[in-house]
Amino acid sequence: MRKIIFAFLFASGCIISLSRCKKSADSEFDHSVMRPWFDKNCKSCHGTGGSNRGAWSYDANNYESSIKKHISHIYQEVYLNKTMPPSGLSQAERDQFKAWYDAGYPAK
């Protein structure tokens, strides 16, 4: 019985240690339709060197932290409030965004 408990505790410790060491790999945003959409409509202000990075930072190399983590704010401003981008969107661009969002905002 002691061997079983020891083995369990040892295995649990290894799993915990390994999980602490694991880096979360952030995926690239390479969606064939929406990557160009974000590049066109968001990158100039929210990308590297942009004037509005404080509100939200767009980085296509960090999908999880750049887009997925902020999707509710992006959706609110782009689709519901229609305040972003400031230059406006055509109905086709807005529909494209909504279809992507409804599909679960995939990275690819």
Task: Quote the CA–CA distance of 40 and 24 in Å, as a whole number.
Answer: 28
Question: Which of 39 and 8 is assigned the larger pLDDT?
Answer: 39
Q: Break the chain down into helix, strand, coil percent, rounded to 5.
A: 55, 0, 45
- Between 92 and 9, the more confident residue is 92
Q: What is the pLDDT of residues 50-108, one digit of tens each?
A: 888 778 899 999 999 999 999 999 999 999 999 999 999 999 999 999 999 999 999 99
In 3D space, the residue among 104, 19, 20 whose CA is nearest the CA of residue 67 turns out to be: 104
Q: Which residue has the tokens 């061997």?
A: 3
pTM of the model: 0.73
